Structures are given as C-alpha cells and as structure tokens.
Amino acid sequence: MFDDTLVLTLGGRFFSEERYLRHAAKLVKTWFLDQNTAMRPNLRYSQVRRGWNKNQGTSSGLIETKDFYFFLDAVKILESLGALSIGQVREFKVWLGEFLNWLLTSPQGVKERRAKNNHGTYYDLQVSSVSAYLGDERLLKEIFHDARGRIVYQFSANGEQPEEMKRTTTAHYCCFNLQGWIHLAQLGESCGEDLWGFEGPQGQSIRKVMEWLLSFIGREWPYQQINEFDRERFFPIYYAYRDRYGMPADFEHVEIPEKEAIKPLFFPHDGIRPFWQLH
C-alpha cells in the first residue's frame, strides 16, 4: 500500500494521468477512510504469533509501518492536486492522530520507543513523520531530542553499529539502520533540526557511521552475513553522503554508477523508498 500509493502519485503527477491519482486516492480511502475496509488506528496484532502472548502482537511489529515517512509525502501531493477532498484529508488526520496516540501510549509503543537497535530508529522516524504531517511541533522536538540520544548509544566512535553487529546478517542490518537514520536526518533538516552535524561525547555521528560503512564498497564484507546481500544498497547511502558532506575521502579508486543508472526500486524491507533518486 505504501509503495503503490507513492508510485501511482508520482506517475499521476509527472505524466498528468488522472487515473493514477484516482487509484492512489482509492488506496488511501480504502485503508483509512472507508468504514467497511479501513484499518483500525493501532498495530495491536502486528507480527502476531498464534499461541504466544495471548494472541497479541509484539512491540517489534511496529516496524511494519516504518514507511509512513514517504507515504505521507504522497498524501500531501494527492491533497495538493485535489485527488483527496478537504473533508477526506480531515478524516485522515483524525485517524493519524489516534494512531499517533496509540504509538505513544500503548505497551507495544512504549517498549518499541525504548529499543536500542534499528527498531528504536524506525520508531522515531515513524512518530516524527506523523507528527510533522499533523504539525505537532512539541512532539517533533521531543523525538529529535531522543534521536540525538540514540546516536550516542547506537554508534561507536569509529562508526560501527554494535547492536546491528550482533545479528547474523550484519551487512543488512547495518545498511537498514543507517538508511533509517538518513531518512530521519532528512526529515529533521526540513523541520529545522540538524542530526547530520550532531556529535556525541566520543565523536559518535551519522557521518562517521556512513564513512565506516561506505569503506566496504568494492571490498569483501568481513563480518557475518548468512543470507545473500544486495551490495547495490551501498549506493543510496553513498549519494546521501555526497549530497550532505561532499565526496567521501579515498574514493577515487571506486567505480560508482551515476545515480540515474542505479535501480529506483529496492526490496521494501531494505528501507530505501521507491524512486529514492528524486528530491
């Protein structure tokens, strides 16, 4: 739903195709507004396992809606083009407000907010995205304050991510968590918050994590990665670094494809939004 709504919205905008916009709007209405089909504003059963936890979901299941950050951009475009009415947008904001309250107050949400790994990162991204859409500046400041604390304990001074290095698929989780930080820093920048330049007491920073990870472009990944890994996932990180900090050091010997030559669609669980090359 997230991916299709964004792709249809972009198609409708760039190619002036009303049918794409109508179908994108239909997805929004079906999932959030139509009383016969709409999702309830919670993730009470996310990642549920029958017979466990009284058949309730888990806190880690909240990551399933991590992509609100780009979906809400699509909704804004649909609103600006008149594909969603003022009344429909008002109803959608009511749904989002209830969902945000659930994220903040439910046992699942409270536990996920305390997560020390990528789950905490994507919780912050999700809550800040919804808060920004709803115009809740107080909550935005609170979440970005939390995010600075996460930088301090998620990252080592040399740029490693200790929590993600505990996994058996370290390349995936290092890229996945860092991609979440890139989205969060980009959102923060649009809200007047600078996560790009923040440094912890030992020099922990997003920049150092990006530099550490990018040092493996064109090299063998020396840590545990039991599943196949798409090495093209380094490229969106490389271009995010270059856009913010300039050319990485010692990259003259590394052949990087032009941005337009890299695939626009990655696997949804990679944490890379569709058509990531577009600003």
Dihedral angle sign, alpha carbons of residues 137, 98, 12, 10: positive
Backbone angles phi, psi at 252, to 5 degrees: -65, -30
pLDDT-based confidence at residue 54 (cuts at 50, 70, 90):
confident
Dihedral angle sign, alpha carbons of residues 4, 10, 12, 14: negative
Q: Count of CB atoms within 10 A of residue 259's CB?
A: 15
Helix and strand numbers (H, E) in the chain are: 10, 0
- pLDDT, residue 55, reads 85
- pLDDT, residue 253, reads 72
pLDDT-based confidence at residue 96 (cuts at 50, 70, 90):
very high
Q: What is the mean pLDDT of residues 222-237?
A: 97
- pLDDT, residue 53, reads 83
Q: Which residues contact 270 (CB under 8 A, 6 or more apart)?
A: 175, 176, 179, 230, 233
- pLDDT, residue 56, reads 86
Backbone angles phi, psi at 157, to 5 degrees: -65, -25
Q: What single-letter amino acid sits at 100?
A: L
From CA 132, how far away is CA 4, in angstroms rounded? Answer: 22
* More confident site: 95 or 252: 95
pLDDT tens digits along 180-212: 999 999 999 999 999 999 999 999 999 999 999
How far does Cα 270 stand from its chain's mean position? 10
- pLDDT, residue 141, reads 97
Query: What ranges in the chain are assigned the alpha helix state H?
Result: 2-15, 18-28, 68-80, 86-105, 107-113, 118-134, 137-154, 170-190, 206-214, 234-245
pLDDT tens digits along 238-253: 999 999 999 887 776 7
- pLDDT, residue 52, reads 86
pLDDT tens digits along 127-171: 999 999 999 999 999 999 999 999 999 999 999 999 999 999 999
Under DSSP, the state recorded for 155 is: S
From CA 195, how far away is CA 180, in angstroms rounded? Answer: 12
For 112, half-sphere exposure in the C-beta direction (CA atoms, 13 angstrom radius) is 30
- pLDDT, residue 250, reads 77
Judged against a pLDDT cut of 90, whether residue 218 lies above it is answered with no
Q: What is the mean pLDDT of residues 89-118?
A: 98
Q: What is the mean pLDDT of residues 31-50?
A: 95
Q: What is the mean pLDDT of residues 16-44?
A: 97
Task: Look up tokens 């059963």; give the residue.
Answer: 45
From CA 27, how far away is CA 32, in angstroms rounded? Answer: 8
* Tokens found for residue 211: 């530099």
Could you tell me where the beta strands, DSSP code E, fall in the chain?
A: none
* Tokens found for residue 141: 């400041």
pLDDT-based confidence at residue 31 (cuts at 50, 70, 90):
very high
Q: Which residues contact 53 (CB under 8 A, 6 or more apart)?
A: none
- pLDDT, residue 255, reads 87
Judged against a pLDDT cut of 90, whether residue 20 lies above it is answered with yes
Longest dimension (CA), the chain: 57
Using an 8 Å Cβ cutoff, are 39 and 57 in contact? no
Backbone angles phi, psi at 59, to 5 degrees: -65, -35
